[in-house]
Chains A and B, each alone.
Chain A
């Protein structure tokens, strides 16, 4: 008898954890970090309200799931980032879409975003009327290094003429969410979505159970108008620094060249993979667009892959979206050493 004649879609419950892990194990990857570490899986999706929608057949088996991350302070009307979306082949080729529709009906998100989508699926999102694109990888090289081990860089263009020399912007590190919130107003909703709330930033970066993120405010005059988040990556005995997130006004970034030059010491380069950032501002800060240079700027470190990677995304926003590699679960541990 066909077990997929009747499929129900509903929000996951806390007691679904094992069944979801089993589904990921059998239908995705046996040694996926969400299978190997219940602690990390719980952090990612079951910290508060279970962040999953499940498609369950009439035999009680999960045949599809959609995990998400809520950027807002509330369950409803927030920006939602889709992060884990997998359906088994059933008699319903639209099951994935139906999972998404259930989420939209339930949570009424202000906007939906998703990075790391497979290239062939882009036509589905376009059909749904969503905007799609490819993230841009920018990098800020350490010009004191002559031989790169993580990146492949044979030559670097001289960009000194386009760099803004002003040192009026400074980076100020914040150790916890309270000090960041005292300096940066989370009430200020920038023109560019997604809007990232204080609880989200605290959970995502300050309370991450595995990665050590550093949060820097961009101080211009007396005001912190934006902040960025970094993480150190290691490969081939060397280090690179990733800007995993950037929130707030972009303009003051252009005066950060001197600060970024200090920050890059000890690293081969700073990598910043994003969509929606003003390319002129990044150029003035000293960043190069990897696509314009004959370089390899790796994105995968677990395991390390010395290769340029194309990251595609969709968003329901028509304009003004900013996306970074820290959004969703793009910058998450992939290898579990069992000790964390």
Chain B
């Protein structure tokens, strides 16, 4: 799976969980820039991404998330294991 394909799926998960199909995100998007990306939504995103890619982030991984690119990085790292 390419990085672009992973990103598209992550974007769809953000849109689905934040209930906004027009939501635009980039790799540099941060929780402060994406309305509603709080701690509860973050866990929902993690659950959904983990299920989609069959990976586990772990607590340390979750706590390292401060941008969309961190989610992508964790997925890639999980897929490589």
Contacts from A to B (Cβ < 8 Å) = 2, 4, 87, 89-98, 101, 118, 120-121, 123-124, 127-128
Contact = CB atoms under 8 A, between A and B. Distances in A.
Nearest to A95: B39
B43 to A, nearest CB: 5
Nearest to B67: A91
B59 A128 contact: yes
Given A94-B63, A97-B63, A98-B63, A120 B40 contact: yes
B34 to A, nearest CB: 10
A124 B32 contact: no
B44 A123 contact: yes
A91 B31 contact: yes
22 contacts: A87-B39, A89-B31, A89-B32, A91-B32, A91-B66, A91-B67, A92-B66, A93-B31, A93-B37, A93-B41, A93-B42, A93-B65, A94-B42, A94-B63, A95-B39, A101-B63, A121-B39, A121-B40, A123-B44, A123-B47, A124-B40, A127-B47
B21 interface: no
Residue from B40, B42, B59 whose CB has the most chain A CB atoms within 10 Å = B40
Contacts of B30: 91
B66 A123 contact: no
B43 A123 contact: yes
A89 B66 contact: no
A97 B62 CA distance: 10
B38 interface: yes
Nearest to A129: B59
A140 to B, nearest CB: 37
B36 to A, nearest CB: 9
Interface in B14-66: 30-32, 37-44, 46-47, 59, 62-63, 65-66
Nearest to B46: A127
A124 B46 CA distance: 11
Nearest to B37: A93
The 10 lowest CB-CB distance pairs between A and B, nearest first, are A93-B42, A94-B63, A91-B30, A93-B31, A91-B66, A120-B40, A124-B43, A96-B39, A91-B32, A93-B39
Interface residues of B, number: 19
Contacts of A95: 39
Nearest to A94: B63
A94 B44 contact: no
Given A97-B63, A128-B59, A92 B43 contact: no
Contacts of A118: 40
B38 A93 contact: yes
Contacts of B43: 123-124, 127
A177 to B, nearest CB: 39
A97 B56 CA distance: 18
A123 B41 CA distance: 10
B14 to A, nearest CB: 12
Given A4-B32, A123-B47, A128-B59, A94 B65 contact: yes
Contacts of A98: 63
Nearest to A120: B40
B46 to A, nearest CB: 8
A145 B53 CA distance: 61
A93 B39 CA distance: 5
A121 B37 CA distance: 14
Given A94-B63, A124-B39, 15 more contacts: A2-B32, A4-B32, A87-B39, A89-B31, A90-B32, A91-B30, A91-B32, A91-B66, A91-B67, A93-B38, A93-B42, A94-B65, A97-B63, A123-B43, A127-B43
Contacts of A97: 39, 59, 62-63
Contacts of A92: 31, 66
B27 to A, nearest CB: 14
B47 A94 contact: no
A90 B31 contact: yes
Contacts of B59: 97, 128
